[in-house]
């Protein structure tokens, strides 16, 4: 269109431009959209509006689309991101040649959206989807667009919008973040599909890779398996010679959802209760950072260091694993020999995010065995996998193979993708033998240790009881005690100096066991000193139990024991100092609860779950904690949770899965019903306590002594009531309203109910809990939880028999 025509139109449009007297969703060649007159287009269903706006504190004017039916103005598309208008002179019109034109005060073209063909009678229309389209007025096919805003996304991905490539025209649909809240021009973070033989979503900072999802495998992306079809969303991935794109749609039409790329990450939101609730986000943690651990590096967020080498490899750097060296990756422990195929094979890695697909090859018609043969016959092929696992990994189809070194892959919770990595035959045999030997050794050691431990405890309990009955002082047997413990001994004088003689100013807290003090050793190391009182319910056996147990346990989410002291009447434990104290000091304190936003609380929940999983299944011993509660979860300087207080813990040996005791010791309100009533304990007892703890973290309320004022139910009962009424978010701590991620909140609440089932066999084990926390949203439907009781009235308490009360006192030695 000639610029003189623009000048004429801009100088004379006031004579004939259409002023909207009512909301309309389109304009034609004889109509204008004017910033000066504050006119807008509104989609037919009222969901979206198109008009001029100024972002944040900026005075620049932009043409954009935003949600029209919610109180928070949320912009989803900007036309002139790079070309702001400095005043209110902006005018949107359809030219005589059928193009969409945005003019400013000088009648210069700010944005010219050329149609794909000449059309003399065009209209621009805002659809209910939020898509702004240009089409012919009398076009029989209403979806035959000349141009559409969905082809040129800004920072927001809406349902029905394709992200990816039109290979016929070379058009790429890619999200780019706003530079700032005041400036919608493209920032450095972008999000789109990388066109390899095996396409995948990638996030880039400038020109550098920042994060990748892994390729689509028929179910989801191998690196973010939670992005898959569920009750709310439906996802589809298309790849052929004409197009490669990903699209999502909302199954429940009443749901309002958007995905946005901000300056740091990708986030998906759902509009809920008058605000945007975060549904999911990524990158999720440090292990999502692209190629953090280098070639053949294995990133596991719960390990320390988080970067490891996969089986058959060793660190390339002589300085082992330190953060500055991680990216150097790993090298093979045994080099490959391509000439002798009999000495080459593959090791299966289960549940992995697939490696970077830059150097990959795909054939959708090959099966897994054909894929293995093709990879084996090519010396450059380092790994292979199924390209489609929608029928499960055992029934997968298609073949993808990788050439050269493998980078950016890791185990991922709830991921069903397997990958087969090329290895020397010696590594395959070694792996199988190592697994068999490990199982045999662990079972044998656990069995022997369990028997010896039981005999040891029986002897010591008898010895201690005899000494107490005869009023024999504990310190008469002190020297013998030291020899049984495998951690450093600290003298009482050293500890007294470190704590300023147990000064009240150094006191961190107290419980039924005694007091905890902060101390500083002569080398400057800060410590936490647990000093048992002489009347403590934790006696000498529990003390030694705790020392012995913690000395053998090493995990990121377990507190580290530095030493002990048995001297005179003193029994003392020395731990690493936790500057942020215990979890209960945050979640139950109205002034400090706000410090723990949802993201931090979710990380704490996952850390506790991983710590329990280690105790139950992954440590050298099978440990039942028996006293899991908020005050026994300590927080380090980075708010990483660490399970503490193993005085009541029990060790299981061999195949033992449950035990029985006549002395139920723990904390009322956290104990499973079978333990509190019958003295039966198992890993499922800890699972029950975890369920209570999970509810407390979500609600910011204590289970014990917490009763709803209107219906008298305790925390569990109130939570179940709200769940059945479809109002679970009313349970959530009010300080989480602005930070909570709806998907994770609902998932955690459902998991807590599953953990709180009446019968132990109905509760999940901790490995399932860990997978549920990071897995898909479709979880088993819980039954009514145990402890679903209300506060008893005084009359009901009077009617209880005295024998019942006596039994309760006898069984429950609560702390």
Query: What's the pLDDT tens digit per position in 483-535?
Result: 455 678 899 989 999 999 888 888 888 766 778 999 999 888 999 998 887 65
Query: What's the pLDDT tens digit per position in 294-352?
Result: 999 988 877 778 888 999 999 887 665 567 677 889 999 988 877 666 778 899 998 89
Residues at the binding site for ATP are 530
Do 802 and 662 lie in one domain? The reply is yes
Alpha helices, DSSP H, located in 289-414: 368-376
Which bin fits 287, alpha (ψ -120 to 50), beta or left (φ > 0)? alpha
Return d(Cα 457, Cα 412) in angstroms, integer: 41
User: The domain spanning residue 760 has which CATH number?
Assistant: 1.10.510.10
Do 646 and 770 lie in one domain? The reply is yes
Query: What's the pLDDT tens digit per position in 29-71?
Result: 778 899 998 889 999 999 999 999 999 999 999 999 999 999 9
Query: What's the pLDDT tens digit per position in 763-790?
Result: 999 988 988 888 754 578 899 998 544 4
Give mean pLDDT, residues 649-674.
74
Do 531 and 600 lie in one domain? The reply is no
Do 537 and 594 lie in one domain? The reply is no
Does 627 qualify as catalytic in the annotation?
Answer: yes
Do 5 and 63 lie in one domain? The reply is yes
Residue 799 has pLDDT above 60, yes or no: no
Return d(Cα 185, Cα 78) in angstroms, integer: 9
**In which domain, by residue range, is 70 found?**
1-152
Give me the helix-helix angle, 766-774 and 683-699, nearest 10°.
30
Give residue 291's pLDDT: 92
Return d(Cα 232, Cα 248) in angstroms, integer: 10
Give residue 811's pLDDT: 30
Do 654 and 552 lie in one domain? The reply is no
Q: Does residue 24 fall inside a structural domain?
A: yes
Domain boundary pick from 134, 152, 170: 152
Q: Does residue 173 fall inside a structural domain?
A: no
Domain boundary pick from 136, 152, 168: 152
Return d(Cα 679, Cα 544) in angstroms, integer: 22
Q: How far apart are the first and last CA of the chain?
A: 83
Return d(Cα 8, Cα 61) in angstroms, integer: 23
Query: What's the pLDDT tens digit per position in 451-496?
Result: 666 666 666 555 544 444 333 333 333 344 444 556 788 999 899 9
Q: How confident is the model at residue 135 (pLDDT cuts 50, 70, 90)?
A: confident
Which DSSP letter does residue 121 get? S
Q: Does residue 146 fall inside a structural domain?
A: yes
Q: How confident is the model at residue 108 (pLDDT cuts 50, 70, 90)?
A: confident
Instruction: State the catalytic residue, choosing from 155, 408, 627, 645.
Output: 627
Q: Does residue 320 fall inside a structural domain?
A: no
Q: Does residue 57 fall inside a structural domain?
A: yes
Q: What is the number of domains present in the chain?
A: 3
Give residue 57's pLDDT: 93
Query: What's the pLDDT tens digit per position in 673-718?
Result: 888 888 888 999 999 999 999 999 999 999 876 556 555 578 999 9
Q: Does residue 559 fall inside a structural domain?
A: yes
Q: Does residue 86 fall inside a structural domain?
A: yes
Do 752 and 713 lie in one domain? The reply is yes
Query: What's the pLDDT tens digit per position in 388-402?
Result: 998 766 678 999 999
Do 29 and 85 lie in one domain? The reply is yes
Residue 414 has pLDDT above 90, yes or no: no
Domain boundary pick from 534, 558, 576: 576
Return d(Cα 362, Cα 197) in angstroms, integer: 6
Question: For 9-18, 197-206, 733-742, which range has the lowest pLDDT when averaged over its residues?
Answer: 9-18
User: The domain spanning residue 17 has which CATH number?
Assistant: 2.90.10.10
Do 621 and 734 lie in one domain? The reply is yes
Do 595 and 643 lie in one domain? The reply is yes
Query: What's the pLDDT tens digit per position in 602-640?
Result: 999 999 999 999 899 887 778 899 899 999 999 998 899
Average pLDDT, the chain: 81
User: The domain spanning residue 552 has which CATH number?
Assistant: 3.30.200.20
Do 624 and 571 lie in one domain? The reply is no
Return d(Cα 115, Cα 98) in angstroms, integer: 7
Q: Does residue 556 fall inside a structural domain?
A: yes
Do 592 and 544 lie in one domain? The reply is no
């Amino acid at each position: 269109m000639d610029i003189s025509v623009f000048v004429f139109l801009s100088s004379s449009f006031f004579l004939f431009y259409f002023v909207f007297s009512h909301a309309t969703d389109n304009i034609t060649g004889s109509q204008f959209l004017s910033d000066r007159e504050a006119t807008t287009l509104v989609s037919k269903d009222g969901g979206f509006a198109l008009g001029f706006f100024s972002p944040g504190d900026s005075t620049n004017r932009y043409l954009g689309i935003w949600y029209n039916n919610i109180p928070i103005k949320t912009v989803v598309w900007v036309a002139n991101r790079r070309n702001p208008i400095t005043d209110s002179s902006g005018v949107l019109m359809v030219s005589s040649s059928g193009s969409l034109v945005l003019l400013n005060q000088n009648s210069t073209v700010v944005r010219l959206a050329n149609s794909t063909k000449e059309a003399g009678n065009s209209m621009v229309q805002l659809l209910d989807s939020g898509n702004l389209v240009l089409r012919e007025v009398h076009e029989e096919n209403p979806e035959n667009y000349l141009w559409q805003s969905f082809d040129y996304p800004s920072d927001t991905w809406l349902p029905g919008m394709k992200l990816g490539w039109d290979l016929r025209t070379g058009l790429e649909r890619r999200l780019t973040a706003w530079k700032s809240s005041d400036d919608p021009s493209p920032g450095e973070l972008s999000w789109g599909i990388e066109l390899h033989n095996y396409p995948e979503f990638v996030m880039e900072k400038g020109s550098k890779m920042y994060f990748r999802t892994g390729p689509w495998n028929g179910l989801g992306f191998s690196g973010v398996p939670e992005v898959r079809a569920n009750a709310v969303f439906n996802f589809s991935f298309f790849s052929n010679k004409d197009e490669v794109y990903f699209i999502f749609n909302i199954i429940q039409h009443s749901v309002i959802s958007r995905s946005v790329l901000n300056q740091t990450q990708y986030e998906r939101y759902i509009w809920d209760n008058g605000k945007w609730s975060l549904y999911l986000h990524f990158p999720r943690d440090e292990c999502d950072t692209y190629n953090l651990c280098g070639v053949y590096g294995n990133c596991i967020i719960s390990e320390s260091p988080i970067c490891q080498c996969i089986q058959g490899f060793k660190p390339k750097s002589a300085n082992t694993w330190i953060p500055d060296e991680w990216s150097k990756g790993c090298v093979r422990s045994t080099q490959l020999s391509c000439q002798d195929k009999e000495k080459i094979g593959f090791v299966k890695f289960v549940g992995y995010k697939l490696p970077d697909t830059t150097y990959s090859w795909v054939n959708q018609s090959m099966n897994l065995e054909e894929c293995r043969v093709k990879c084996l016959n090519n010396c450059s092929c380092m790994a292979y996998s199924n390209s489609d696992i929608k029928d499960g990994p055992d029934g997968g189809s298609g073949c993808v193979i990788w050439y050269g070194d493998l980078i950016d892959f890791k185990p991922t919770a709830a991921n069903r993708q397997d990958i087969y990595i090329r290895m020397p035959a010696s590594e395959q045999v070694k792996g199988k033998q190592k697994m068999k030997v490990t199982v045999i050794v662990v079972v044998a050691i656990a069995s022997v240790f369990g028997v010896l431990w039981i005999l040891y405890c029986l002897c010591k309990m008898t010895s201690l009881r005899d000494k107490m009955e005869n009023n024999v002082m504990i310190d008469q047997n002190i020297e013998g005690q030291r020899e049984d413990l495998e951690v450093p001994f600290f003298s009482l004088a050293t500890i007294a100096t470190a704590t300023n003689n147990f000064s009240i100013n150094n006191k961190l807290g107290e419980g039924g066991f005694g007091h905890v003090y902060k101390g500083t050793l002569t080398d400057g190391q800060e410590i936490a000193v647990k000093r048992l009182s002489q009347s403590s319910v934790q006696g000498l056996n529990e003390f030694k139990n705790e020392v012995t147990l913690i000395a053998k346990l090493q995990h990121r989410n377990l507190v580290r024991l530095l030493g002990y002291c048995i001297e005179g009447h003193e029994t003392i434990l020395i731990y690493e100092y936790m500057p942020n104290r215990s979890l209960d000091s945050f979640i139950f304190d109205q002034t400090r609860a706000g410090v723990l936003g949802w993201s931090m609380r979710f990380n704490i929940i996952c850390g506790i779950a991983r710590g329990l999983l280690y105790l139950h299944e992954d440590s050298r011993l099978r440990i039942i904690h028996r006293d899991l509660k908020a005050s026994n979860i300590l927080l380090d300087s980075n708010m990483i949770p660490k399970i503490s207080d193993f005085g009541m813990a029990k060790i299981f040996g061999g195949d033992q899965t449950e035990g029985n005791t006549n002395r139920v010791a723990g904390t009322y309100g956290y104990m499973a019903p079978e333990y509190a009533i019958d003295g039966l304990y198992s890993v499922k007892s800890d699972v029950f306590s975890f369920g209570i703890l999970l509810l407390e973290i979500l609600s910011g309320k204590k289970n014990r002594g917490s009763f709803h004022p209107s219906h008298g139910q305790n925390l569990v009962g109130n939570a179940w009531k709200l769940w059945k009424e479809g109002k679970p978010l009313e349970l959530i701590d009010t300080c989480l309203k602005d930070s909570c991620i709806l998907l994770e909140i609902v998932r955690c609440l459902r998991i807590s109910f599953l953990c709180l089932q009446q019968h132990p066999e109905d509760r999940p084990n901790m490995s399932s809990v860990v997978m549920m926390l990071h897995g898909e949203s479709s979880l088993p439907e819980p039954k009514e939880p145990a402890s679903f009781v209300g506060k008893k009235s005084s009359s009901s308490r009077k009617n209880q028999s005295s024998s019942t009360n006596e039994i309760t006192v006898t069984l429950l030695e609560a702390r």
